[in-house]
Amino acid sequence: MAELMAAGEEPEILFWVGCAGSYDERAQKITRDICKILHHVGIKYAVLGTEESCTGDPAKRAGNEFLFQMQAMTNIEVLNAYNIKKIVTGCPHCFNTIKNEYPGLGGTYEVIHHTQLIQDLINEGKLKAEGGESFKGKKITYHDPCYLGRGNGIYEAPRKALEVLDAQLVEMKRCKSNGLCCGAGGAQMFKEPEKGNKDINVERIDEALQTNPQVIAAGCPFCMTMLSDGIKLKDKEQEVKVLDIAEITARANGL
Amino acid sequence: MVAQILFLVLTLAAIALFTVNLRKIIRNIRLGKPVDRKDQPQKRLMTMLRVAFGQSKMVVRPIPAFLHFFVYIGFVIINIEVLEIMIDGLFGTHRIFNGLGGLYNFLIGSFEILAFTVWVSCAIFLVRRNILKLKRFSGVEMKSWPKSDANYILIIEILLMSAFLLMNAADAKLQLLGASHYINAGAFPVSQYLMNILPSSENALVIVERSCWWFHIIGILAFLNYLPYSKHFHILFAFPNTYFSNLEPKGEFTNMASVTNEVKAMLDPSFVPAETEPGKFGAKDVTDLSWVNLMNAYTCTECGRCTSVCPANITGKLLSPRKIMMDTRDRITEVGQNIDKHGAEHQDGKSLLDDYISREEIWACTSCNACVEACPVNIDPLQIIMELRRFAVMEESQAPGSINAMMGNIENNQAPWKYSPADRFNWAQES
């Protein structure tokens, strides 16, 4: 972003990568695929690079409003300094926080999640599913991330992105507004679960496996971790792939 | 004449007692912190009409929705009959609305059919709770009083409907006998089948008819006064509760204004915050919660839809969103009783956090909003959990160790993990 600014240019959209997308090895792949998609359709985008920092979401959900607002205001200062208007995020948690909780602190932007971007590109005819891996007829089940689905009512965009594949979409019993959490939200990602009789991600994977999928589609780096761990635990890594919608889109287009 | 005076006294006493108890509950709700829920009145009205009147969130589970609909419609419609009973009771008349003619017959006939469907629905509800033992109605919080409360309500409703139908059956039989005072009025599609079990003498029939009439109306007045002690309060509070419910996206949590001032002052030394009274961060006790949280607690009818979709509860953790609401209600009731007995300044040394809700419960929440989505009357247990977490973290610095580590990382490395900020852009190099 700093380079673009120095060249006196403004991006069409800022890609907010997020901490998971920046540091988590698995999520880095998703980040690169989102970049490939942006590049493929010729959108002029920028990232903040080392100037990006945590949105404060996990701190807020853990109850630390101080730390959240410190992060939020620092980020808003950076975003406003670059005159950012539109943001796409690779993470529903970043998406929710910037979209809903930043405006009250002085940061108002048009914020979309990457699955919405993909849906828009498909609707505009700029993105198809051709030239790459064929998902035709494959059984795909989509896991709704809480902060995209229930949190913000976005259920259709990710499904639209999958429909274009001509794959066989199967819904889990608990889906859309009734979707079951992967177990990572509310800062659970960073702690051991409380005493119980099952891990939440295992409960979810059991349900996903009941649909006999070849692919479990995700839209959140935390869900990705939880679902992948579940699949590993069930020893199903060979038969079932857990892929982000961005990865599926990139593969289908041979990017 | 004696009967009329007795009726008047009973009715006035019941209304007075109910008013006293209702005012106490409203006072208790007002002990909560202010929150503005008066914006967008049109949208609020629509939400209330859709969710409370229209029962839109009940349809997710079709069987209870169907049965509940009968009980709900029965309750609303049969109240027209109560109006007639009131007038008859006060003026010593009999079936005063008889003048409506064909319409009256239609109304009484409909009431009978509804009374029958309410009866059957309540009976099925009892079977679901006590014989089929549905999982949703069990759980640690559903022992003792809450369990009996639910059964009492269903039994009272069955008794009220039985009295109503028996009364009509006796009335119909008296009409056939041509008894004086019992004018020919009403249609009796259900109670006609009960006529055979009734005695045939006119005197005995009058006793049955009068007993049922009195039982029915005294039952209704008693039930009205049972409400403030019961989970059944939802029949009234569902309406304001949905009207004042959160209209923002569920993922959005409130930004605390008190914190904003401090953070602004920290980041910009020249910033002078407006004078605000120093308050607590988050909630330790019910009076630290907002009045909407407290109204939520009084509205909860303990149906358990929240708990049955809670990922923590499903996987055997201690957390149950229904228990969060029941604890909040029990504690605010206790605080209210303390005020009544010992005055407003009394402290009993107890609090919602720890004495009612444990740390283990609040830290098990994934903030997934499934409980909020599932509630048929828009109750928000998540907000209470978050306020308790805010207190634990900001007032006491009492978070689980790994959460403290995560927050330390954000402070030092601007990421929840221990990575160097300088490495944040490394993802672009590899592939």
Residues of A whose CB is below 8 A from B282: 63
Listed by start position, the domains of chain A span: 2-118, 129-252
Average pLDDT over residues A66-74: 96
For A2-118, give the CATH class: alpha beta
Are the Cβ atoms of B253 and A47 closer than 8 angstroms?
A: no
**Residuewise pLDDT in 10s, chain B (431 residues):** 788 999 999 999 999 999 999 999 999 999 999 999 999 999 999 999 999 999 999 999 999 999 999 999 988 888 788 888 889 989 988 888 888 888 999 999 999 999 999 999 999 999 999 999 999 998 889 988 999 999 999 999 999 999 999 999 999 999 988 888 888 888 899 999 998 899 889 999 999 999 999 999 999 999 999 999 999 999 999 999 999 999 999 999 999 988 998 888 888 778 776 666 667 899 999 999 999 999 999 999 999 999 999 999 999 999 999 999 999 999 999 999 999 999 888 889 999 999 999 999 999 999 999 999 999 999 999 999 999 999 999 999 999 999 999 999 999 999 999 999 999 999 988 65
Q: Measured between CB atoms, which of A32, A59, A181 is closest to B366?
A: A181
Residues of B whose CB is below 8 A from A203: 311, 314-315
Report yes or no: B382 and B372 within 8 Å, Cβ to Cβ: yes
Residue B60 DSSP symbol: T
Q: How many CB atoms lie within 10 A of CB A124?
A: 9
Residue B402 DSSP symbol: H
Residues of B whose CB is below 8 A from A185: 366-368
Nearest chain A residue (CA) to B397? A64
Among the listed residues B375, B371, B400, the one whose alpha carbon sits nearest the alpha carbon of residue B385? B371
Among the listed residues A159, A150, A37, A152, the one whose alpha carbon sits nearest the alpha carbon of residue A100? A152
Report yes or no: A224 and A26 within 8 Å, Cβ to Cβ: yes
Are the Cβ atoms of A105 and B314 closer than 8 angstroms?
A: no
What is residue B281's three-state secondary structure?
coil
Residue A47 DSSP symbol: -
Query: Distance from A226 to chain B by nearest Cα, in Å?
Result: 13
pLDDT the model gives residue B271: 76
Query: Distance from A180 to chain B by nearest Cα, in Å?
Result: 7
Report yes or no: B95 and B55 within 8 Å, Cβ to Cβ: no
Q: Write down the architecture of domain A129-252 according to CATH.
A: 3-Layer(aba) Sandwich (3.40)
pLDDT the model gives residue A130: 87
Alpha carbons B424 and B431: distance in angstroms, whole number: 15
Alpha carbons A56 and A30: distance in angstroms, whole number: 21
pLDDT the model gives residue B238: 96
pLDDT the model gives residue B193: 92
Phi then psi for residue B298, to 5 deg, are: -70, -25
Residue B285: Cβ-neighbour burial (10 angstroms; 0-12, 13-18, 19+)? buried
Are the Cβ atoms of B316 and A199 closer than 8 angstroms?
A: no
Are the Cβ atoms of B252 and A147 closer than 8 angstroms?
A: no
Residue B262: Cβ-neighbour burial (10 angstroms; 0-12, 13-18, 19+)? middle
pLDDT the model gives residue B78: 80
Q: Measured between CB atoms, which of A187, A195, A198 is closest to B403?
A: A187
Residues of B whose CB is below 8 A from A180: 309, 311, 314, 370
Give the model confidence (pLDDT) of A5-61 as tens digits: 777 788 999 999 999 999 999 999 999 999 999 999 999 999 999 999 999 999 999
pLDDT the model gives residue B315: 96
Query: Distance from A74 to chain B by nearest Cα, in Å?
Result: 9
What is residue A217's three-state secondary structure?
strand
pLDDT the model gives residue B389: 97
What is residue A210's three-state secondary structure?
coil
Among the listed residues B409, B385, B392, B386, the one whose alpha carbon sits nearest the alpha carbon of residue A101? B386
Q: How many CB atoms lie within 10 A of CB B12?
A: 10
pLDDT the model gives residue B278: 63
| Residues in CB range of B366: below 8 A, 6 or more apart | A146, A181, A183, A184, A185, A186, A188, A200, B311, B312
Do the domains A129-252 and A2-118 match in fold? yes
Amino acid at A70: M
Report yes or no: B236 and B227 within 8 Å, Cβ to Cβ: yes
Report yes or no: A54 and A130 within 8 Å, Cβ to Cβ: no
Among the listed residues A177, A181, A171, the one whose alpha carbon sits nearest the alpha carbon of residue A202? A181
Residues of A whose CB is below 8 A from B374: 178
Nearest chain A residue (CA) to B429? A32
Alpha carbons A161 and A95: distance in angstroms, whole number: 18
Q: What is the largest CA-CA distance in chain A?
A: 57
What is residue A218's three-state secondary structure?
strand
Q: Cα-atom radius of gyration of chain B, to the nearest Å?
A: 27
pLDDT the model gives residue B431: 54
Are the Cβ atoms of B415 and A53 closer than 8 angstroms?
A: yes
Among the listed residues B210, B212, B198, B203, the one whose alpha carbon sits nearest the alpha carbon of residue B179? B203
